[in-house]
Every structure is written in structure tokens, then in C-alpha cells.
Structure 1
Amino acid sequence: MAQHNSHRAPGRAQLPTRHAHQAAKGLGGAAVLGTVVLGTAFAGSAQAAPAAPAAPAVSAPAAAQAAPATTTVAPSAVLNTTEKLRWGSRGASVQELQTALNNNGANLAVDGVFGPRTHSAVKEYQSDAGLYVDGVVGKNTRSALNGGGVSTGGASAPAASSSSSTSTSGSSIVNKARTAIGVPYSWGGSSFSGMDCSGLVNYAYSGTGINIGRTSSQITNGGRQISQSQAQPGDIVSWPGHVGIYAGNGKVIDAGRTPASVTERNIWGNPIFVTYR
């Protein structure tokens, strides 16, 4: 007769339920039944990793302040004179002009003499710079050489002075030339003891602030050629080797070998007309 076996079958596992329950409580309630520990244990380790600090924000004004400030340096003037320079001018201002032209591609001797080579270099510079080409260094040409802006509206003639100021200037030149009428002709002279043609023109223009050359060719080449219809009293009338002052109404004041004195007479032949205004 089989007997009732009150013992558990050998080899059968007995679960330690009380200890498992306590272990589970120790782990914050996570289940430990032959599986991976879930929940709190891993959550704790995840929380243990420190968060990477955020990069400090840089405000726009601060970034702008960080940039180094730049300083604009105005170009230094190379021509400090305010007088017009033209054929026949001399001195330190002409040396500055010649240096400035050399810096722009010319090849001049810096001798302070505004002669034919300097005259040609000025004209070439004016042409390249889009300035009015007359070979005279006035306000616009000086400003361009000094690195300043020039408002010329292209290669057009500079704005003319008002008719009243032009007339006054021209009348002064003519009136001064008339004071020399009757002075005998003397080659190379420029005083009341004797004058030649260019000496008379220099005398008439003295005190006007306009620099002109000494010889007839320098006087002719230093100004701007115009038509007879554009000529105003005080402008220059020029023939080959001879110059005089335009008096208006087809007349010229000049010192000629014939009649060997300063006279006011009718214009003859086909001269050219030159203005410095």
C-alpha cells in the first residue's frame, strides 16, 4: 500500500517569496523574478550623468563691441597752394605739382618750372581723369591730384564766372593796358621805359591773381583757346610770335615793332583767341 508522501519532490525549486518581496522593496518596487531589474535602478543611473552646460549666449551688441574699431584716414594733400598753376609758373608749388604728376605716371624733372613738359603732363592727367583739358591746374585738377572727389559732370568746361565779375575783371585788364599806350617798343621790356608784346600782357595782368607765362608762346599755350565770338575784353589775341590784349569790338592793344609803341588798333589777319578765365 502506497504511503502518502508529505515531503516535496526532490529537485523542485522553492521560491523564497518573503526574501524576494523584501528585495523588491529595497529596490524601490522593481520586480526581481529572473528578469532584468527595471525602473528605478536604471533611472537613478541616468539621472547621475551630469547635463552638459549650455554655451553662454552672446548678445548682438556685445558681439559688435568685440569687433575692433576701424579708423579712416583722409589722404594728405600733395598740393597745398590755392593759386592756379600754369605754363610759366615757378616755385615750390610747381615742384609739388610735378611730384604729384610723377606719382600718377609722369616722368618729370622736379625743378619747379612749369614748362612745356609739365604742361603736357597736366593735360594728359586731365584727360585720363575725365577733367576739362586746358593744361591749367585749378580747383578741380588740384582736388583730383589731392585724392578728393571732383564733380565735373564729365569732361566739360568749368562753370563760367558770373557775367558781372568777368566783365569787371576784363575791364580792369583793358584799362590797365590802355595806361601803357604810347610806351615805346623794347624787346624784352615790361616797364614804361619800354615794352615788348608779352611785357605789355604781363603788365596788364599784374595784380589780377592770374599767373601767365613771360613769352608769347607761353602766354598762348598756358590759356584755353576759344573762338573770337567767345572772346571777352581782357582775353588774349595771339599771332605766331606776337600777343596782345583784346579790347572788344574787333580791337587789340599791343606793343609791336610797327608802329614801335603800344597802340590800340583793329585786329588783322587770322589770330587765335585765348582766355585765362
Structure 2
Amino acid sequence: MAQINTHRAVGRAVTPVGTAGRALRGTGGAAVLGTVLLGSAFAAGPAQAAPAVSPAAPAVAAQAAAPAALAPAHVKSAVATQKLRWGSQGSAVEQLQSALNDHGVSLSVDGKFGKLTHGAVKDFQRNHDLQIDGVVGPKTQGALNGGGASISGGGTSVPAPAKSATNSKQAIVDAARSQIGASYSWGTSKPGVSFDCSGLSSFAYKQAGIDLPRTSSQQVAAGTTISKSEAQPGDLVVWPGHLGIYAGGDTVIDAGRSPGAVTERTIWGNPTFVTFR
């Protein structure tokens, strides 16, 4: 009887190993180790305890435990899965700041995308022959991660600006806002460096796939004049000899002589509005 009981005890100890083996063959043939699915950047849920394994199967236990140590390094390699820009906050910005520091910058890793982070991003873009807009999109993310433009991080890739009216308007505002802080210089349109009023508007519209004439008078003549009540973000706000991009509410983003830079500020006076919708 002692031999029979021992035989049964061994049989029961081996049973979890068989269950673990079935789990390892799940999810369409991909190997599942604990809660980590090989080939994905992050686990889909909270960590769970690995199935109990008998001493009779040390190889299975070692295989299940080893990949877990690789997860932190992989997590660190992904800067973000969404576009980051001035005003962004959170853990994705912390990863961005850490990645910039790995490239020789000395930023406080505080999760706040402000003036210093914005400047560091533009310097990085300038040094890597990227578009100097201060926005961390797929190409900048890829360069920071030392690879291509696509970034895997448990989310979806950032799509190119859609051609729908809503996304085009937002793309115009985002592009103009990305240049806040650039200096004012008449007759220029140099992303990350300097603009005049119509240089900024032509740049911002181009990011949405819309080509505008170069001068302010030409832009006004090419569009349709509307009332303020009809205006939507992305439309032009026009004064005599000057214009900016309507950001919604009562604000405009413009490259003005008086502040000497691209700023977002309250609309003044009685401007007209011009649309290309």
C-alpha cells in the first residue's frame, strides 16, 4: 500500500505541469509565460502567480521565470504610443524625458512637457535631420528609440493626419501651437526658429495637407470671409496687415511683431475671419 500511495502522490504532483503545458500552447500558438505574451510590448493585465510546478519539471519552471526579467528593459525602450507636445503630462512624458537624457540632455524627469522639454525635443530633431516642430510623433519616437518610426508599446501607432475636416482643423491648430516660442522675423517660415504671420499660417496649413499662398493679403483673398460665430479652430483671424490661426474660444495663435514671437493669446479688436473649409 505504501508503494501505491507514493505512486498516486507523484501522479498528483505532475498534474499542474500538464496544465501549464496546455497554457503554454494557447493564444494561437504564441508562447505565454506568466502573463507576458511574447511579441507584445506589455502584459495585458496585472501580474499573476505562475502555476505551481513540481521538482520533477525544473526546465518548465526556468522557462516560465526567465523572460519576466526582460520586461522592464523593454518597457523603458518605448517612449510613448501617442503624440507628445507642449502641455502633455504623465508617465509617457517621463519616458520621453528619460530618453532625451540618454541622448545627453539634463532634464528633470517630472512628467511635464514644458519649455525645457520642448526645447530639448527641437534640439534633438535638429541634430537628427527631423522636422523641427517640437512634437514627438512617430519619427521622433523612432529616432529616440534608436529604430524606425513605428513604436510598439501596448497601444496603437499614431496615424497620419486624416483628411476629414475635423482632423484637418485640429492638425492646423496643433502645428501652429507646436511653434510657440519661435521668434518673429518678417518674411521667414523656419520651423523651430522664426516666422512672420503668414509664414506661420502657411506652415500650419501645410501640415494638414493644404497649400496656402505665401503672403497674408494673398491668403485672405484666396479664402472665404465669415463671421466670428461661423469660425472654427483652424480658420484665420485677420486684422489689417496681420493674421493668425483661430484656436477656439477667444484665442489666436500668431507670430506677432509686438511680442516678437509665436504666442497663443486673447483676440483683440474687431478682426474678420477667413476659412478654407
| TM-score after normalising by structure 1 | 0.40
More contact order relative to length (CA 8 Å, sep ≥ 6): 1
Q: Higher helix share goes to which structure?
A: 2
Larger of the two Rg values belongs to structure: 1
| TM-score after normalising by structure 2 | 0.40
